[in-house]
Amino acid sequence: MKRLIFEPEHDQLRQTARTFVEREVAPNAAKWEANRIVDRSAYRAAGRYGLIGFNIPEEFGGGGSDDFRFNAVIVEEIAKFGFLTPALSVHNDIVGPYFTSLGTLAQKERWLPGYASGELIGAIAMSEPGAGSDLAGIRTTAVRSGDDWILNGAKTFISAGINADLVIVVARTDPGAGRKGFSLLVVERGMTGFERGRKLDKMGQPAQDTAELHFTDVRVPAGNLLGEQNRGFYHLMANLPSERLSIAIAAVAGARETYRQTLQYAKERTAFGQSIGSFQHNRFVLAELDTELDIAEQYVDRCLRAVVDGELTAVDAAKAKWWCTELAKRVIDACLQLHGGYGYMNEYKVAKDFVDTRIQTIYGGTTEIMKDLIGRSLGL
């Protein structure tokens, strides 16, 4: 089914993203996975290709377009390849908007040029050992001391935690104010008391560095407060819908590519003298997957249009996020089954996809949290 959401300029960027994957990612993928981290040069290369910073104002070195369809094109093309999607998505779709929407002029002049070029890498630190989806459980604190904030606490499951030069840390700045007591502080590489812990050993996406971060009496200048003091919770809520839509986009695009390869395999692989795809059961499975992916893609495009029009709601994004990630999990599981024993072999992409996609129903808000958000919107 033809997708009407994209225009010629988006198709042009899509080709650029494909070239980036072919020339810069594919030749280095095995090395990055073995090292369990994407080399920083990949971000700089993405900057040269114009794949980061396009939504940063031109005066700060960016492309000057806030059209989220450009984000979607990049996410889709990289998701087709695999593991690098979280790295660039965190940079473009999750962290970047905080700097562009909340940063002061001085902060933008200081950070955005390097961010747009890929010289500076960003991360956001919300989750803690005792607080994941429940932000009310955050214990990291920041206390004002003269011209600084004194930051103490620990974070975990932080994407790009090892590579990051700028970490947006969610901290309590008014302990008795509940959700009205959080602020966002930008911690920079090299600040005294800021230490990176383990590079976490995950079951999938090994090249996406995910780390523990520790803050011990870190003096964060008052000028590194991002947004308004004690409004951090509301800043987070404003950015979460586009983050969740980005995850949904990646889920559908990645699953679609796994399906495409599986369909080809089903046509070529034979059993009992015929292609495995020609057996009625398998043909029905493939038909069902194709249908479900088409339907999910249409809803994603509807949400994408809503972003462009400034109308995407948190509820619509939650629907896209939970449905598309759960669908991707089911699609890839079915694709692995259709590969038989070969699907369990790591030399086949479907095996990697099976473990790499599993996290999508968890990060960015679990499926259960998404359903609860939707349920509450129904007055339940």
Note if 243 is an active site residue: yes
pLDDT tens-digit profile of 72-96?
Answer: 999 999 999 876 667 888 899 999 9
In this predicted structure, the answer to whether residue 108 has a pLDDT above a threshold of 70 is yes
Kindly state whether residue 3 falls inside one of the protein's structural domains. Answer: no
- Shared-domain flag, residues 215 and 275: no
Mean pLDDT of the chain: 94
CATH of the domain at 352: 1.20.140.10
- Shared-domain flag, residues 138 and 212: yes
- Shared-domain flag, residues 145 and 263: no
In this predicted structure, the answer to whether residue 217 has a pLDDT above a threshold of 70 is yes
Range of the domain at 187: 124-230
pTM, whole model, 2 decimals? 0.95
Kindly state whether residue 1 falls inside one of the protein's structural domains. Answer: no
Could you tell me the pLDDT band of residue 197, with boundaries at 50, 70 and 90? very high
In this predicted structure, the answer to whether residue 289 has a pLDDT above a threshold of 70 is yes
- Shared-domain flag, residues 170 and 200: yes
- Total structural domains within the chain: 3
- Shared-domain flag, residues 71 and 139: no
> Which of 88, 72, 73 minimizes the C-alpha distance to 40?
88
Predicted confidence at residue 139, as pLDDT, reads 94
Average pLDDT over residues 315-329: 98
Average pLDDT over residues 92-121: 96
- Shared-domain flag, residues 245 and 358: yes
Q: Which of 120, 153, 171 is the last residue of a domain?
A: 120
pLDDT tens-digit profile of 261-275?
Answer: 999 999 999 999 999
Placement of tokens 């950070």 in the chain: 111
Residue of 24, 76, 243, 257 marked active site: 243
- Shared-domain flag, residues 240 and 373: yes
Average pLDDT over residues 221-234: 97
Burial 357-373 (b: 16+ CB within 10 A, else e): bbbbbebbbbbebbeeb
- Shared-domain flag, residues 341 and 247: yes
Give the span between the Cα atoms of 283 and 368, in whole angstroms: 32
> Which of 48, 50, 42 minimizes the C-alpha distance to 14?
50
Kindly state whether residue 2 falls inside one of the protein's structural domains. Answer: no
Average pLDDT over residues 173-187: 93
- Shared-domain flag, residues 226 and 254: no
User: What's the distance, CA 198 to chain centroid?
Assistant: 21
Q: Which of 230, 263, 286 is the last residue of a domain?
A: 230
Q: Which of 215, 230, 245 is the last residue of a domain?
A: 230
CATH of the domain at 186: 2.40.110.10
In this predicted structure, the answer to whether residue 242 has a pLDDT above a threshold of 70 is yes
- Shared-domain flag, residues 217 and 307: no
Kindly state whether residue 87 falls inside one of the protein's structural domains. Answer: yes
Predicted confidence at residue 83, as pLDDT, reads 63
- Shared-domain flag, residues 261 and 345: yes
- Shared-domain flag, residues 354 and 245: yes
